[in-house]
Chain A
Amino acid sequence: MSAYLARRLFYSIAVVIGVSVAVFLITHQLGDPVRMMLPLEASEEQYQAARQQLGFNDPVLVQFARFSVDAVRGDFGDSLWMDAPALPLVLERLPATFLLAGTAIIIALVLAVPLGIIAALKPRSLLDHVASLTALLGLSIADFWLGLMLIFIFPVSLGLFYTSGYGTWEHLVLPAVTLAARPLGRISQIVRSSVLDELDKNYVTAARARGLSEQATLLGHALRNAAIPIVTLTGFELTRLLAGFTVVVEAVFGWPGVGLLAVDAIERQDLPLLQADVFVVAMIVVVINLLIDLLYGALDPRIRY
């Protein structure tokens, strides 16, 4: 176990370093961040002065060395646009994104698991069709559109919850529900198919032959086995949200998360901010994947580290 953890930790560090290097190299191939910073009318002299001052006139290798040394110390430099160090800017926004993504995933799970199970218990029944349609709807609905519809229905027409902002649970409801739509769809599909798969297996027939009720068979036997693909997908959806796919919802609901920050950083080619963001996201993905791996071990005794 500890050997496994040590190995995983080593790989994780390698991944984070690799991703950081890749981001450095890729971002230096894209456009010119200095030009984006200055007003269109800025003169050539101002442009050159800014480049010089920000160190973009140094050879790429020198820039890379500087980047590496600082990054090891957790220093990604100051954001080019925002007058502040990059890493704290990202970390400051992280709790809001965690809260939003976490709530969305919990909503999705709480709804998707029963929905998927209902569909799996009576395949091709009316209930199954309704559940499958709900899943498909959640999956294919544009979060932008859904968010605006919810804003129109609740705060604007009914005076419930808020259109935007951050602070209380009432601010959280609509963005979290909007964000839950896609994971809800995907998770309920995988719940349906994996429960259906498991219910077809011999050990389920054997359990029934021992007189177990449908409920005990489902909850005590089939669901435990179906949990692994469900956990995998849920983890994937969570990392996806934390990696910045909350951006549309953040924009619609004015949610102060890391997604908007990341997209701004990309649009403005704010390299330090972008590098800090990618670093943080890579760390999160690595940690969540590790947790999921450990969870597998708890769920499936055949997996040993």
Chain B
Amino acid sequence: MGEPLLRVEGLRTIFQTGKQVVTAVSGVSYSVDAGETVGIVGESGSGKSVSMLAVMRLVPSPAGRITEGKIWFRGRNLLELDSAEMRAVRGKDIAMIFQDPMTSLNPVLSIGRHLVEPLKLHLGLTPSQAKTRAVELLQMVGIPDAANRLNDYPHQFSGGMRQRVMIALGLSCNPKLLIADEPTTALDVTIQAQIIDLVKRLRREFGMSVIWITHDLGIVAGLVDRVIVMYASHVVETAGVDDLYENPRHPYTLGLLSAIPRLDTAERTRLMPIPGKPPDLSNPPKGCPFAPRCGFSTADCLSEKPTLREVAPGHFSMCHLELSKQAFINLREVRVNA
């Protein structure tokens, strides 16, 4: 396998308000291969969205800024591009769709106007070509009567339809990478499934890589190839999706898995919320960021921060301990009985 499509190295992003400095992403590294779908999972505030905004270089400034790291995309470090070069990447090579389809479309512009804009900008289409393409895109994402809906405004579409429009927008210039930032969170369950199916289908058709950000491990199971778990600005575990589900190595990942209600097992496991709260990122703990909430933590965990290391082929975990699946099961028993 050659160079991955996207390789993030040691990315560090901070937010500064007055004297207070919050580290949103601290030294994160990961990569996404061409054609691969990667899920980034974590609770809100874990840095998953910010790390993606960093890839797009859209971290809200002046408060937020990238202080360290490299973002390699198709052989170029995005952080070294000038703003015109970066704009040529956004929307064309890397597209992003957002959590809330209600607010991500401009309420005073028609859907057609939204769609035509990047087509003219990145692909240099004429207005009539762009319009034809816009209709095709809407048809592709399953919007009925697409030609007649170009002149409609966002408020005339339902939430699910709007997310379809957002996807059409994202795919309009055949991007190499689609970043989907919790695109189904705001939608109800049936619509969620439809959107996921849509992305699955389009991923094949367009042959693109997808990064799917979510706080819900359950959603990514059937969708992604690999999962990156983030906690408190760190990547704490990364592995192939089956490997991760079968054999989680980081106590936090286990916690997340336990929090998923399972209907397919006979075993009546109780839904296990992880006790405690994530650390204050303006004043991060010296040792492992998860240690204060971790059932296995030792004195070492509190004093020394672990590194992300390969615990099995292609499986990385940021933990001092060698934990097996049995250990987790034991822990769960202890908790349930307690």
Contact = CB atoms under 8 A, between A and B. Distances in A.
Direct contact, A vs B (beta carbon within 8 Å): yes
Interface of A: 201-203, 205-213, 216, 220-221, 224-225, 299-302
B160 interface: no
B58 A211 contact: no
B42 to A, nearest CB: 20
A213 B87 contact: yes
Most buried by A among B106, B118, B169: B106
Most buried by A among B88, B90, B108, B153: B108
Nearest to B99: A202
Main secondary structure of the interface of A (DSSP, over half): helix
Given A212-B117, A212-B121, A301 B100 contact: no
A206 B98 contact: yes
A202 B53 CA distance: 12
Nearest to B100: A202
B276 to A, nearest CB: 31
A208 B98 contact: no
Contacts of B169: 210
A43 to B, nearest CB: 69
Contacts of A201: 103
A104 to B, nearest CB: 28
Contact of A302 (B100, B121, B155): B155
Given A209-B95, A224-B109, A302-B108, 4 more contacts: A211-B118, A212-B91, A212-B117, A302-B155
Interface of B: 53, 56, 58, 60, 87-92, 95-96, 98, 100, 103-110, 117-118, 121-122, 153, 155, 166, 169
Given A203-B105, A224-B108, A225-B108, A209 B155 contact: no
Contact of B105 (A206, A209, A224): A206
A211 B122 contact: yes
B155 A301 contact: yes
Contact of B118 (A202, A205, A210, A224): A210
A234 to B, nearest CB: 18
Contacts of A205: 53, 58, 60, 98, 104
A208 B109 contact: no
Contact of B106 (A203, A209, A213): A203
A207 B106 contact: yes
